[in-house]
Amino acid sequence: MTVYTAAITLFLVMDPIGNIPVFLSILAHFDARRRRRIIVREMLIALVILLLFLFFGKYILQAMHIQEHALGIGGGVVLFLIAIRMIFPRQREDVRDHKDEEPLIVPLAVPLIAGPSSMATVILFSSQYPGRIWLWLIALLASWLASACVLISSDAIRRRLGNRFLTAIERLMGMILTTLAIQMLLTGIKDFVHSF
């Protein structure tokens, strides 16, 4: 897997385009400047969490005695389920908090950006290819930066493109993620067969 593929995979898993309506709903009662400040803070928190899982996730797996090919197969299944949800989305619940308090960590940083799927993906990269940890760091930073730019510009993106176009883009991304998930699943199965 290349840095480019890893960055695309992480970007698709973070799903910033699909998260635009949710972010705008949660932050609807804040003015645009404060909304951008909250998004930047939450994105930084999500980055710190993903970095922790990138560098220390493999030790968690070792402590739980999980083998790499099991993680590859599990990661492929999880990514496939995420892709299916992107292609066939359920009606999103309005998770707006009507209080004036700013959301902190939950739900914006975790689980919308640094969710279980993002954490599992960075652990998968670092455990399957530990010698490329700095390349995975570059991929994580690139996907995080792209996601941050999308979410910071969420007001302008929704105004210009509209909700229907955003939904179409999210479904296209789901199709791409489906092929990446199947490839990850097949690689995990091949590694499992060759381990005997």
Asked whether 87 and 171 are in contact (CB, 8 A), the reply is yes
Confidence check: pLDDT of 92 > 80: no
Pairwise pLDDT comparison (51 vs 171), residue with the higher score: 51
Provide the CB-side half-sphere exposure for 23 (13 A, CA).
Answer: 34
Q: Which residues span the domain enclosing 54?
A: 3-194
C-alpha torsion 58→60→63→66, nearest 10: -60
| pTM exceeds cut of 0.75 | yes
What are residue 106's phi and psi, to 5 degrees?
A: -100, 135
Number of domains the chain is built from: 1
What is the pLDDT confidence band of residue 136, given thresholds at 50, 70 and 90? very high
pLDDT in the model for residue 100: 65
Q: Render pLDDT for 114-124 as a digit per residue (tens, 0 to 9).
A: 987 788 889 98
Tokens of residue 120, six digits: 């599992």
The closest of 168, 193, 191, 196 to 89, measured between CA atoms, is 168
